[in-house]
Structure 1
Amino acid sequence: MSDSIFGVLILISFFTLGLSFWALGQWLRKKGHGGKLDHIDKQITDKKNIVRRYLVNPVRHTVASALSKAPVFGKHYKDIPKKVEKPNQK
């Protein structure tokens, strides 16, 4: 029970933190710092795209490739013969 309450409190605190950052950004924009905030956003977005291109996408592709080859996920059908020979009936 206490673990559930602790988890809910953590979620509420993350929501509150995010809302606080959003309010800070709105307040700074009202003060006239919108151009600086846009410049910071562009720099962060560029860095995220670089990390995504060279680190996240290759790792995701490797993991997806490995999982698709795992027999647990449905590739076992390749071991089944395509054509089952029927006995000759005369």
Structure 2
Amino acid sequence: MTDILIVTGFSVLVFTLGIGLWALGQWLRSKGYGPQLDMLDRQYTALQLRVSPLAISASYHMIAGAHSMNRLPLLGSKSNAALTKQILMAMRAEQPTQKREC
């Protein structure tokens, strides 16, 4: 029961924070800071595009580690091992297409 309350509280907090940040952005735009916010957006988007391949690589290695652990006798099950294998195959299939897009 406490887990449900914690997840619900976290969800409400994150939702409220998101609405608050949106309202802050709207207020700053109404005060005339729109061009500066657009410049920050361009810089942040460029950073995301540079970091994205690294994040995909890191997530691939984490799932590969989980797949290795699922094959151990006491730490995993056959269904979890099969699921992580499917995820790894999907990620391998997706990686070459992302390299071509960049």
TM-score range, shorter chain: 0.5 to 0.7
State how many pairs are aligned.
Answer: 71
1:34-70 per-residue CA deviation (whole Å, 9 max, x = no partner) reads: 00000001101100100013x0233456678897xx9
Q: Matched residues in 2 for 1:57 and 1:48: separation?
A: 12
Q: Judging changes above 3 Å, is the alpha-carbon distance between structure 1 residues 7 and 52 closer, same or farther for their aligned structure 2 residues?
A: same
Give the TM-score normalised by the residue count of structure 2. 0.56
Structure 1 gaps, min length 5: 75-90
Give the TM-score normalised by the residue count of structure 1. 0.63
Q: Matched residues in 2 for 1:52 and 1:4: separation?
A: 32
Runs of 4+ in 1 over 3 A off after TM superposition: 57-67, 70-74
Structure 2 gaps, min length 5: 72-80, 87-102
- Give the aligned partner of residue 3 of structure 1: 3
Deviation at 1:2, TM superposition (A): 2.1
Alignment of 1:11-90 (within 5 A): 11-53=11-53, 55-59=54-58, 72=82, 73=85
